Amino acid sequence: MKVSLDRDRCCSSGLCVSNAPEIFDQDDHDGLVRLRRTTFQPSEYPDLRLAAELCPCGAITVTEDTAPADGPAATGS
């Protein structure tokens, strides 16, 4: 899963930090959101999805990983 932040849209509500402080942080200077890290465990995916859903400014976008290919296509005989 990839997480993108649009700091131009962030209104510094702090909701994401309150709900997932191990993932999100706010800049000490301007209060805008930032990520503490860029890799996430599958167990954190629900928190990431919720953060994107609840952000009042639409500043968080989560992109699901694409499923791995199913291997080589079957060939006819």
C-beta contacts of 31-35 below 8 A and 24+ residues apart = 32/7, 33/5, 33/7, 33/59, 33/60, 34/5, 34/7, 35/3, 35/5
Which stretch in 5-13, 40-48, 63-71 sits in contact with ligand SF4 by CB under 6 A?
5-13
Can you tell me which of 27, 30, 53, 56 binds ligand SF4, judged by CB under 6 A? 56
Residue 23 binds ligand SF4, judged by CB under 6 A = no
Residue 11 binds ligand SF4, judged by CB under 6 A = yes
Helix (H, G, I), strand (E, B) or coil at 43: helix
Residue 60 binds ligand SF4, judged by CB under 6 A = yes
Residues that bind ligand SF4 (CB under 6 A): 10-16, 33, 55-57, 59-60
